[in-house]
Structure 1
Amino acid sequence: MPSLTAGRRRPGLDVTRLVALMGMLGIVLTLAATGYLAQREYQRRFDDAKEQLATEAFFLSDHANRLFEVAMIALSGARSLTVGRSWEEIASNPELARQLRDFADAIPYIEDVWLNDATGQLRATSFAFPSPKSDASDRENFKAAKLPVDELFVGTLIRGKITRRPTFLLSNRMQAADGSFNGMVSVTADLAYFSDYWAGVALPYDARVTITRVPTLEVLAEFPEHGEQPATPAGLSESVANAPSAGQYATHGPDGRFGAFRRVGEHPIYLTVDISDAAVVAGWRSWFANILPVPAVAIALFGVLSWLAIRSSRLQRASQLSLAAANEGLHVEMSRRESAEDQLRQLQKIEAIGQLTGGIAHDFNNMLAIIVGSLGLMEKRLKRGERDIEKYLTAAQEGASRAAALTQRLLAFARKQPLAPQTIDPNRFVAGMSDMLQRTLTESIRIETVLAAGLWKVRVDPAQLENALLNLAVNARDAMPEGGRLTIETANASIDQAYSEAHGNVPSGQYALLAVTDTGTGMSPDIIKRVFEPFFTTKGVGKGSGLGLSQVYGFVRQSGGHVTIYSELGQGSTVKIYLPRYYGVDAEIEKGQSQGDSRPTGSPDEVILVVEDEAGVRRLSVEALRDLGYTVIDAEGPGRALELIGSSPRIDLLFTDIIMPDINGRELADRARVLRPLMKVLYTTGYTHNAVVHNGLLDPGVRLLGKPFSLDQLAASVRAALDS
């Protein structure tokens, strides 16, 4: 008789069907996630491309503007040669023709110089004397020059009939003493200036770069070249009309392209960089093909899981073994993905280094162009027996000073500068800088200080702290073009463990706070995230290097402190610098102690030994010290220096480079002091080294003069070392 309970079995949950449904759901979710990620990556690639094109347009337009600046110099120089001369004198003067030829030869990418009188007749050129007959009265550039507006006229693309080299004409108005029209000066510029530089730039995808003339929208130069008459970038006209300074443009369709444009200086010229939609899509497809195995494996695993679940009621043991194998495959895939993520992070680091290197090369090339060009013009004038070279000498010195300042800012950002910390009362320090800050700012900006009572002392490098405050003041000034208020506050502050962990493990403890607040334009959150990046700037071309705040960041972090920025658009900005409290009892320095304005000198009975392995630097150092009145002997290396120290009757100061072959400057000084215990030592180097610097701080008692140094810096450092 059958059991009575058999017919009343309670319905149970069908586990195999539930697991199978979960597997199908996993497949659907995997497909949805893959589609979502693919769509986001698709959009990200286009967004990144637009941002990169805007960056390329910024740097390439800055480079392009250099040619127009050089052309303006050439036009001004040629115009100055005609001052006080009639057109008959200009046309009949072979010496003027020679000067025009020398002037054109001395300036790179400037081919010829032309002078037309008020009727349009060609009166003088740099390539022929007497000048050939030519009438420009009906030409576009001459009509523009007759207008009572002192603007640079940019001509159309011209190709040489024989050389086929592309050039274009730049013209400017000449005026008589009473301001009336007196003629036209023109130069021919070589478009190879653009193509030569563009060929060496790593451009994204299938990028096309052009120089376009407005309002005709005629392309003067393009890279890569597609023909003798390049086509205007599609969509540029409407975009320029809506955003005259800079912006983006795009065309849609199978051959669609998009790009960025930027006006070159204040000239009627635009630089464009664009790429095709197809190139970006091709890159995205390649990425999608590379990641496709991941969702495919996941879908396969979900399918296997469903199949194993159905069989689990019959072959439980076999199912368990299959699941174990599947789990092992997941671990292998996870390991592969982790490895790919590590490689991606490494590539991002390399890209960041490349961006930094490009910024350094860009700024140094500009400064070297000033120095090399000025020296070339000085050489030309000196060969002709002319002595009017002060402006070129000043330009070369300014370029060298800017290069040295750039190096110091980079070392500050990299936290590789040698700091000489001293005990400082921040209240007194800020008060001592008030006059300097007021001179830095315009009269329309009012400075206020709010100094806290009982403020803790700090121990930092006073020169670097002064530079940091000056950088912040300059940024505040630029953010308040119409004037405003700059407030500097001090206070005691404490950083707890929670704040420390939330802000990159800033050391917790007690700090002296310096806050600099302006009432300027403020910054958006996207800009705030990048303000400490080197070479990132929101200022116009030529108005900022992008290293001011990165220098502040590097100095504060090297000093063991912390810096933050708070800002809102239209409400101003506040930069807060936290410097560690100093618990010692050292005597504090006085800000703004007066120093003599005269350059300190020496006497012939003071003997200095100069040790430098670089012959050019050694020769200049020796000559400079002799001009200051010292008796100087020199050695090209440590071996010869030790011989002189042992044989010379008197040596008062050892002035030595640190990084040299065989032994470094610190080891040389230690050996020298065994022979001459009372001899003073002054080190010099172009890069801080562990020989005299540890943890970013100069060793006690060490005197260091960084390269490059001026004659005033050399005189002051040598005098201080001898008198110590």
Structure 2
Amino acid sequence: MIQLRLLVIASLLAPALVFGALGWMTWLREQTEARRSITQTLDLVQEHTLKTFETVSLVAEGVDQLVSAMSDADIRRSEADLHLRLRRIADTLAQVEDIWIFDAEGVPLVSASLYPAPKSLSAADRDYFQVQQGADAKVYVSRILSARAGDQRFFQFSVKRSDATGAFRGVTAVSVEPDYLRDFQRRVVVGSGLSVALVREDGDVLARFPTETRDLVDRPQTLPGFVELRKSAPEQGLVKTSSMFQGGQRLLGYRRLPSFPVYITAAIGTDAIARSWLDAMGGYLLIGVPSTLGLFLLSVLALRTFKRENAALAALQSEAERREAAEAALRQVQKIEAVGRLTGGIAHDFNNLLTVVLGNLDMLLHRLDPADARARRAATLAKEGAIRAALLTQRLLAFSRQQPLSPQRVDANALVAGMSDLTRRTLGEKIKVRCVLPRDPLPVNIDANQLESAILNLAVNARDAMTDGGTLTIETAGERVAQPSRDPESPPPGDYVVIRVRDTGSGIPSDVLPKVFEPFFTTKPHGQGTGLGLSQVYGFIKQSGGYVIVESAEGRGTTVSLYLPPAGEAQETAQTDQPPAGASASETPGRDRVALVVEDDPNVRRFSVEALRQLGFEVIEAADAVGAMTALASRPDVDLLFSDVGLPGSDGRALARSALARNPRLHVLLTSGHANQIGRASQDDSFELLPKPFSVEQLAERIGAAFAA
């Protein structure tokens, strides 16, 4: 009986003691969690605010140095030029609203936003002007002000203008929008129960969330006792104080910005901490079951409480990680863009070199003795190497989004279905290929050949990841993206046609995933890959107005999604650059005809001259447009103008138009190794165009097309 009574007492007393101890520990933990949240918020806001202030200070000091050697009269005479320069600076920096230069009387000399600067305005009564007028305050941060020529709210960063003797000459001021800082504060603390403020040394609030900037101007707010509060700890502190905004007590953390007379604060009300504590303890109040189940439920509720309390910290950490990932993605995009611009810029020189190599090898093969097998084999191998180099240049152009495309209306379903047999033959018997295609057509405007090449590239990469066999799924669908993403590589909201290539391979490690689109990056053994497959896919899809998303986990396969804008109403199919019927390399289109070759590269010009002579033309040559027009004037019997698009001081299109004005019966064929020039020439004119590098056979085909036009 005694033991039963003790058990009953224990079943009542033990839960009460445990509940009391747990309540105290939970209260301490809530206090600690609140302090940790305040500290983390101060870290984030300090980093952003400090970068903003440093940038604005550099602008103020730079503008002051710009006009330091100029008198006020010089500045007024140069107002138009200075206005434009200041305007460019203000437009470049989102945090800068305006830039002003005032004389010693407070009259504006130059403004970034207004031209001419209104001489009726005066800053003489502003605090930033008066402080700098009294003494050099270095970089002074004013209180919140309301514009006298508009409804803007701002605070000023001011720098004293002095002459060689140190005498006061006026003020250089940079206006900063508080809402720029407030928007960042909002993103940091939204949903956390925290409030954040930017405060001057005298307690004046410059930016605060939650509150509107207009409220800070209409009803200037000052943190009560802030000056006294920071005397004991001037740089930073964490104290309990009363709130002037919501009332009651709050836990306030503050920190001084290095090199600036400004503090950032983060606070949370004690009532919010108490509510969080009550939320945590509410689960334990449900304990009413027999003592045998009470201890069990207590442990379960404790675990649930622990998870709930750590959710807030996890959310902050997740937000920080997401920002870091977005910044890393942006840096990756910028790096890829830089490499793309580089590859596009050197393509012209590569194509000129390859034109000389391929063309002369082609002519050499035609002239070699068929019986000399060794020499023909060497020339053939050299030609194959040059062709591979040309393909490599095309892939680089695809990555740089500068390859010439022939978009046409294509049904994505029909395209994928049509290449399914080719895909199966390419991947081999170990890989099972599945096509998941809806019944309704999914039209897109795109270069069909390049899209097929992109899908085949993805399939080959998937095959290499499934060394022991597996399943490759190619799926098409119409999808709508509803929510915007912070990732600059993700598609914005809208309707898309999506082509997904999914494999069951080894997946991509997390440290490799950000690099998959970089040119020449490959995880394959040396000699088994160029590293241009995925970069070519990326460049082609981006050039076509689409987006590429790669999802992968090591050991769980990879999914590559191609998001393409859907085609609108039915359009006429784009014309491709096919040679006219009947044109062949064996014909001699130049018999009894005269051709003028215009090319600034001497090696390419020599090859072009020899190739045209081989085709039966009488050939004259020129290195630029001036020489070409001189030759046309002296030889009115010229039948064909064969010119490079890019010429010194002019271009082939302008030359062709001038030549046709002189001789309307003239036939024109243009050539270029630069993708941008190819695209413009094909769009702007009806001239036949031959991309570099080219062979004698291709030259003959395009000449036939030019004479047939």
> Which category describes the TM-score, using the shorter chain as reference length?
0.3 to 0.5
For the pair shown, which has the larger CA radius of gyration, 1 or 2?
2
